[in-house]
Structure 1
Amino acid sequence: MKLYEKTIYTHTGWREENDNWFYLHAGGAIGNNNAEVCIDNRLERYNLSGEKHNFISVCDAVTDIMNISKPEIMYPLIATVFLCPLNEFFRQAGYEPLYLLFLVGRTQTRK
């Protein structure tokens, strides 16, 4: 009988294998077509393998979101969203963000 080793990832985020970085998501991996990913069904919407989006329309959508509330509220929220996939590289460079964004508000206050 021949045995072999197989890695199945069960999380999202960045991984490095043989000096190659790739990003794991519910639909597989960006940067490594051979990576096998099996993520809990509750995270199935974290799938980046679907429809391709136009960069300009995505930027326009982010700009539209910025107008939902005051800049002092929206800037930290949007910055944190964009920080998440970059956090691994900030950590490696010695600049890991050391904060927690916590939203507080009554029900139906659009938090």
Structure 2
Amino acid sequence: MAGYLTTHVLDTARGCPAEGLKITLFALDEAGRVPLAEMVTNADGRTDSPILPVERFRTGKFELVFAAGDYLRASGQGAAEPLFLDEIPIRFGMNDAEAHCHVPLLLSPYGYSTYRGS
């Protein structure tokens, strides 16, 4: 099976999926930072389809940018401007053309974490 990339966002402050959060995927290569996809999370905090599907999958270096500030403001968690967290970039590499790579974000107004999921 060919590889693909998925992501999701959980709002750890409210204990629920982060619905309506914009995510942008970039490839990082000789050309610089090249936009590949932009999606918004659904009610489950996931994108409706892989952010990098099988037919477009490739190995290399990538960056997911999560529009956390917009989400936090919209969900009533925005404090005084500027917010502590606004855009959250996560840079990572994928080196297995056959693997499903999952990069989730656990988010609160003052912190976040990520990991290589399955």
TM-score bracket relative to the smaller structure: under 0.3
Larger fraction in helix: 1
Please give the TM-score of this superposition, normalised by the length of structure 1. 0.22
Q: Which has the larger radius of gyration?
A: 1
Please give the TM-score of this superposition, normalised by the length of structure 2. 0.21
Greater RCO between the two (CA within 8 Å, min separation 6)?
2
Larger fraction in strand: 2
